[in-house]
Every structure is written in structure tokens, then in C-alpha cells.
Amino acid sequence: MRTAAMLCLTKLYPSWKTWASGNQLKFLHPWNGGIVIQAVGKKDYFDLLDLDEKDLEEQFVRGHGPGGQATNKTSNCVVLKHIPSGIVVKCHQTRSAELNRKKAREILQEKIDIFYKGENSDILKQKEDGERKKQEKKKKAKELLEKKKQLKEMQYPETK
């Protein structure tokens, strides 16, 4: 999929240089040197509000949880605060401080989107939709189990 998309775009714009990074295709624009990023393979690409670095307060604190000395003695847990809204995010998902910084910013960006857009937030709508689908699946499984029990009772009636 990625290589096909790259080939199509490089044939369209031969002077553009392309490379793949994770789930993104990046194109180096030949005229102004800017980078154009296109999300590939992600159905859930949202138009989130941009974070301004001057509005963020970042701290590195010691980690906690399983992992022993490797996590408990290193300061790779990121605490990120968005000053205008007062939203605080704490991220200690990996042992790498850089990855934690990136993930904390992604989480904060989603929370800020929900905070400012409220019920119109795409992320909130997706979570509600996922929860609704989960409930429907659970209901169908319960109904199927009930049908199986009834069928079993019909095939093998209990004799006492």
C-alpha cells in the first residue's frame, strides 16, 4: 500500500522526494522545501487543535510500577500541563523519555480537543461509537448463547 501510494505520487510529481515513517508518507516539497505529510492506513485521522509549546509546562518525574530499578530510579515519566485549560497528563508507557513525551502530547491533544469542542469532538464521537458497538456485540453474544441453550434443551430434554 505504501509503495503503491509513493509510486503514484512520485509519478505525478517526479521532483518530490518521498519516504515512509510509521503510518505516514512524507514528501519533501521541491519548491519551498516544506514537508507534506499524508497519513496512510489510518482511518481515524482527526482534525485536532494544534498545541503551542509556550502553553505547555513539562516535567520529568520518577517512574513507578513494575520493572524494578529500571523504571523506579529513572526520570522518564512525563507530566505535561496545558496552562490555559489546566489539563494535566501523566505518561509513563515506555522506558524512553522521548517516546513518553510524544505520547503525552498526543494524549493531551485529544483531551484538549474534547475540552474545547465538547460533544462535537470527533474523538468523543468515536469513543461513543466504539462503546455502542461493543454493547451491541455483547448483546448479540448473549442472545446467541440463549438460543444455544434453548436448542440444547430441545434436543436433550431432561428426564427426572
pLDDT at 64 over 70: yes
Out of 21-25, 37-41, 66-70, the most confident range is 66-70
pLDDT score recorded for residue 72: 75
pLDDT band for position 1 (cuts 50, 70, 90): very low
Give residue 6's pLDDT: 46
pLDDT more than 90, % of the chain: 34
* 8 A C-beta contact, residue 125 and residue 117: no
Give the tens place of pLDDT for each residue, 74-97. 888 999 999 999 999 999 988 888
Residues 6 or more apart whose CB falls under 8 angstroms from that of 99 comprise: 93
The pLDDT value given to residue 141: 96
Q: Which pLDDT value is given to residue 49? A: 75
**Which residue segments constitute the domains of the chain, with CATH numbers given?**
2-39 (no CATH), 53-120 (3.30.160.20)
List the one residue out of 28, 45, 48 whose CA is nearest residue 36.
Answer: 28
pTM of structure: 0.56
What are the tens digits of pLDDT across the range 111-145? 988 888 888 888 888 889 999 999 999 999 999 99
Q: pLDDT-derived band of residue 41, with 50, 70 and 90 as boundaries? A: very low
Distances in Å between the Cα of 5 and the Cα atoms of 11, 18, 35, 58 are 10, 10, 16, 37
The pLDDT value recorded for residue 8 is 46
